[in-house]
Amino acid sequence: MAQLIVARLRLPLFSIKHPEAFQVMSSLPLPQPSSLVGLLAYCVGVTKGIGTKALEEVRKWVEDGKLLAARATLATDSLPMAPSSVVLRRFRIVDKAHEAKKKGIPKPIDRLAQFSRQGDFRSAKALLEAELMDAFYREYVMGHELLCVWALEDETSLEPDWLYLAQRLGDTESLCTVVSVEVHEARVYETDRIRTKFPTPLEGLSAPVKGPHTVAKMCDEVRALRPYIIPCEVKMRKGKERPIVPVIKPSEVEVSYEEPVRVIEAENIVLTAFWPVRRTRRGRR
């Protein structure tokens, strides 16, 4: 038996980059397992007061078989999500201060103070708008609620209510609020066929996937890059007074594997457990 912790996250948007994309010009449609491990580690680090060391602890749970899986899906199909690109403009004062220290030159804040004393506002403006600022594209997924689940063995020291400390899911701007946390007793068993609404590894399939889905490379629970089947349906929708926009709706897929895999099941939730990247009988990874 295992515990399945289910957190409902409410969010205006999130942005989790495709692992092989530059910056966050392209976002994954759902949070990848490694991002959920990071979110869990943040909550553990704040509660225990150990900061980023918590990430090593949570990853050790995965390696020791105590954290069986970390996955996410859309909470409801009545409120689909939609990707949208924006241009972010940001100050890089802290980064530039570190660069200045390494080069042995005055820090940007000191240069600004000097220009101010001299009344040289043209140079101050050029420093702020040219040297200390940059802009780039970032894709966000506009949504409403996500279901994030973690399957754990009973031996872990995690308290489910720690998840209420979560503040972000993805990049700095991806703020979220945890509105509920539930715990269910889960059954763990092995099977070579599964119906699931959660991302599951693509490797080792014995038959085509049934049901609407997309395939994307994501980082698993130990940050290994691997292809995943993501149960979702991407459609183009046109409003009465709006342009055509892509929307992402949840779906369910049936996946058949060459060999039995571990599956976690509780209530209406079914997902595959983490397994290390391995070679299949066909010699692929």
- Measured from the Cβ of residue 114, the count of other Cβ atoms closer than 10 Å reads 13
Tokens of 189: 């068993």
In sequence order, the 6+-apart residues with CB closer than 8 A to the CB of 285 are 203, 226, 277, 278, 279
Beta bridge mates, 185: 3
Report the DSSP pairing between strands 2-10 and 145-152: antiparallel
Nearest Cα residue to 31 out of 7, 53, 54: 7
- Measured from the Cβ of residue 29, the count of other Cβ atoms closer than 10 Å reads 18
pLDDT at 130: 80
pLDDT at 4: 95
Residues of the chain with pLDDT under 70: 23-24, 78, 239-242, 279-285
pLDDT at 78: 66
| Helix 108-118 vs helix 93-103: crossing angle, to nearest 10 | 100
pLDDT at 81: 85
Query: Which segments within 106-152 are labelled E, that is strand?
Result: 133-142, 145-152
Q: All domains of the chain, ordered by start, with CATH? A: 2-85+139-272 (3.30.70.3120), 93-131 (no CATH)
pLDDT at 133: 81
Q: Give this prediction's pTM.
A: 0.83
pLDDT at 239: 67
